[in-house]
Amino acid sequence: MSYLTLSQFLEQKTGNLTPELSQVIETIANTCKKIDQALQKGALAGVLGSAEHENVQGETQKKLDVISNDYLIDALKAHPQVGGLASEELDEFTPAQENGKFLVLFDPLDGSSNIDINMCVGTIFSILPAKNAVTQAEDFMQAGTEQVAAGYVLYGPSTMMALTVGAGVVFFTFDPETQEFLLTSEHVQVAADTQEYAINASNQRHWEEPVKRYIAELQDGKTAVRGKDFNMRWVACMVGDIHRILCRSGIFLYPYDTKDPQKAGRLRLMYEANPMSMLMEQAGGASTTGRVRILEIQPTEMHQRVPVIIGSKNEVELATSYHH
């Protein structure tokens, strides 16, 4: 069977694709191949374990967090079409090329706590149009609706890329023999209904009442108000959880809680919530904070956090309605 390569797909005039945007996406994909190679070697390359310092989020970094971040910065900073880039791992944005057409934001290694136990991790990226010839911090303050492309690379049993350029969602699978990402799923769609949910149940005592109610109804099963049994899944890697939902439906919640009143949510708006929300909506799903559509939020700071309820449309709408 013949598959389109990522390069061939990016030559098509679909969605927001232009030759310049295609070049940026291909650079991200090629960099993720390097990250994948480092992950595959694991302990053999001495890349496991802690880097023994914290990132801007106050989280202890893994060695591969730092390596992945450096790979992406080096590749994108030199790219002629990139005006600036921002990483979840760094406090300030990194200026790149004058007159670059795009801004790139990324979480270099989502779920990095999984690295040392050889479970799935991923890279998330978001691409915005550049606003000025010389990029300023405020140029990144764009709502998620302004994204021209978004996606992730999942490093799992097989390495896969999910991508949207504003014309639906497609999956690519990395072929280690040819070193190419090959198009293996087109027109990815998320069913409106589901019987799977993902949430970190250890935070239950900190949840707001609408979330407690929603989860309790799922747990009550088919003899109660929902009339069906639900299964719980939790990967501890947003890329893994979102990939499962894109493959077979579901709902993922990282809601607001009172554990740390200074943080509106756990996940970062521009590095995680916005790109995943674009993917989900392009696949027919939905994404809210429980109160508002995530893609419509106007960012106010580089590392802004938001609650996230994302996945199958009917479930997201039901959980959101409980907040109203």
- Whether pTM > 0.75 for this model: the answer is yes
pLDDT (0 to 100) of residue 1: 75
Q: What is the pLDDT of residues 21-46, one digit of tens each?
A: 999 999 999 999 999 998 887 766 56
For the chain, list the domains and their CATH numbers.
Answer: 6-185 (3.30.540.10), 196-323 (3.40.190.80)
Rg (CA), the chain: 19
Q: Is 113 annotated as a binding residue?
A: yes
For the residues 247-261, what does the mean pLDDT come to? 92
User: What's the farthest any 2 CA atoms get from each other in the chain?
Assistant: 62
Mean pLDDT to the nearest integer, 157-164: 97
Query: Which residues have C-beta within 8 Å of that of residue 2, sequence separation ≥ 6?
Result: none
More confident residue, 153 or 262: 153
Please indicate if the annotation marks 180 as binding a ligand. Answer: no
CB 106 within 8 A of CB 302: no
112 in a known ligand binding site = yes
Mean pLDDT taken over the chain? 93
At 278-324, the pLDDT tens digits run 999 999 999 999 999 999 999 999 999 999 999 999 999 999 999 99
Say what the pLDDT of residue 64 is.
84
Whether 229 has a binding-site annotation, put simply, is no
Is 50 annotated as contributing to ligand binding? Answer: no
What percent of the chain clears pLDDT 90, i.e. is strictly above it?
Answer: 83
Residues 185 and 247: their CA atoms lie apart, in Å, by 10
26 marked as part of a ligand binding site = no
Measured between alpha carbons, how far is 181 from 173 in angstroms, rounded to an integer?
Answer: 5
Q: How many residues does the chain have?
A: 324
Residue 200, marked binder: yes
